[in-house]
Amino acid sequence: MKRTIGILTAGGDSPGLNAAIRAVGKSAQRAHSMRVLGFLDGFQGLMQNRFVELESEDLSGILTRGGTVLGTSRAKVDKMDMGDGSIRDMRPLMREVVEQHELEALVCLGGDGTMRNGLKLEDAGIPVIALPKTIDNDVSGTDVTFGFDTAVTIATDAIDRLHSTAHSHHRIMVVELMGHDVGWLALGAGLAGGADVILIPEIPYDVEAVASSISARRDGGSSFSIVAVAEGAISKDDASIRQSMVEHIGNSQGRQRKELKKKLKEFDKTRVGGTSQLASTLAGLTGLESRITILGHVQRGGTPTAADRLLATRLGAAATNYIAEGIHGVMVASRGEETEPVPLKKVAGITKSVPVDHVWVRAARELGIALGD
């Protein structure tokens, strides 16, 4: 029987997924004479043994396409929502599927959640190789994730376009960017798009300080300001409340710990919609009109940039070489121009936040861009 590998995409979609599927598939077929089975809709499709055999014609013409031809889901391997109100550990069933097809490895394309799921499958006896994708760029152990460059490019274009209307109407334009709990996307697009204020979760902000920087710009003759705010950005007051909640959780156990975690989740939910509150507070404090733009899923859509295609292609090709060498339980990381297999247990569950002394942060400060602190 021909050597066979499986591939799936999990978590939120991201530009470059199809480029990676193509690279894994083509290199598996051409360089290693392997069959490639594509499981549909992430780990859910693996559990249900829903797959397509990817032939060479299925891999043609997908390099430039956004989304994922395999479909995706946020299903968790050990806490699968069965749709009837029950949550079950489905790893044994997934292992049966892998054994039935005699898969040499399962290539999982995803972000941090996928690294965690991949490690759980590896621990359950399924050989996993993961590739890091996400527009958030928050996967540790790799220089960068594919999808990030495209999202930065889309968001930068949006910020560029906001400049002319902000300038014409003398307004504060607050633009919210994705990024989950980290600020890579807001910082990258904010810098590239020439935002005047950039607010990221790693640097809690003081709304009065933000307003003063906008007023100072107006007094200096610039009667408009662009504020790029990460969806996870947090005020200093909320950050200190959150910090004490986290500490409380750390000191608790059992049922109390569960309750406190639930409270923290609820607290985080109340912060959603904070962008509109921020914009109106800034208007009140500065006397300037404000408007908000929430870029949302536009940042994840459409064709990947050349940089993301290149990254996805070289990581995908490297993955099949590692499989051929018998390596598994790893994420294929980008390290400079090379790739490196990094053990999943070193990356799973570790969020790569923006270091507060990162070169982009330092550059922003040196240019006089306000970071709200």
| Residues noted as catalytic | 136
Among the listed ranges 55-63, 81-89, 128-136, 283-291, the one in contact with ligand F6P (CB under 6 A) is: 128-136
Cα separation, 269 vs 350, in Å, equals 22
300 binds ligand F6P (CB under 6 A): yes
Q: Is 135 in the site for ligand F6P (CB under 6 A)?
A: yes
Q: Which helix (H) or strand (E) holds 306?
A: helix 306-324
How far is the CA of 352 from the CAs of 121, 348, 365, in angstroms? 22, 11, 21
Residue 241 structure tokens: 């409340």
Nearer to ligand F6P by C-beta: 201 or 329? 201
Per-residue contact track with ligand F6P, 81 to 120, x per CB under 6 A? ------------------------------x---------
Distance CA 1, CA 284 (A): 71
Interior/surface letters 141-160, b for 16+ CB within 10 angstroms, e for the rest: bbebbbbbbbbbbbbbebbe
Q: How far is the CB of 269 from ligand F6P (least distance, A)?
A: 13
Which of 6, 12, 15, 204 binds ligand F6P (CB under 6 A)? It is 12
Shorter beta-carbon distance to ligand F6P: residue 13 or 196: 13
The answer to the question of residue 41 lying near ligand F6P (CB under 6 A) is no
Spatial separation of the C-alpha atoms in residues 176 and 294, rounded to whole Å: 5
**Residues from 169 through 188 that contact ligand F6P (CB under 6 A):** 178-180
Does residue 352 belong to the site contacting ligand F6P (CB under 6 A)? no
Nearer to ligand F6P by Cβ, of 136 and 308: the residue is 136
Q: How far is the CB of 264 from ligand F6P (least distance, A)?
A: 17
Query: Which residue from 225, 235, 270, 177 is spatially nearest to 373, judged by alpha carbons?
Result: 235
Quick check: 211 binds ligand F6P (CB under 6 A)? no
Q: Which is nearer to ligand F6P, 14 or 27 (CB)?
A: 14
Residue whose tokens read 């859509």:
301
Q: Give the C-alpha separation, 114 to 133, whole Å.
A: 9
Which two three-digit tokens encode residue 47?
Answer: 């559990």
Question: Coil, strand, or helix at residue 236?
Answer: helix
Binding-site ranges for ligand F6P (CB under 6 A): 12, 111, 134-136, 178-180, 231, 300
